[in-house]
Amino acid sequence: MASAILRDCNGSFKGASAMKMALLSPLEAEAAAAQFGILEAQRRGFNNVIIGGDSVVAASAINFFPTLEGSNGGFMS
């Protein structure tokens, strides 16, 4: 299960979403959840996104390989 909780810059709740995922390793699940959160934020019109998670390995990989246009790898672990 991947979920996204969307908040504005003041921390006010703006929405949430969840999706079922195939069985993945914990690292793959964390990366897929981050991707899901980014796509959900884009779908809802958010231009600046901060992703949070609890996997240091996933955060390091995302920070090392930012792929979104204009991304600076802003993953908070």
**What pLDDT shows up at residue 66?**
58
pLDDT of the chain along its 77 residues, tens only? 888 888 888 989 998 989 888 877 888 888 888 888 888 888 998 888 888 878 788 777 777 765 555 454 454 44
Chain length of the chain: 77
**What pLDDT shows up at residue 13?**
93
The predicted model scores a pTM of 0.69
**What pLDDT shows up at residue 65?**
66
Residue-by-residue DSSP string for 21-71:
-----HHHHHHHHHHHHHHHHHHTT--S--EE-S-HHHHHHHHHS--STT-
Domain ranges of the chain: 2-76
Q: With H, G, I as helix, E, B as strand and everything else as coil, classify residue 10.
A: coil
Rounded-to-integer distance, Cα 39 and Cα 57, Å: 21
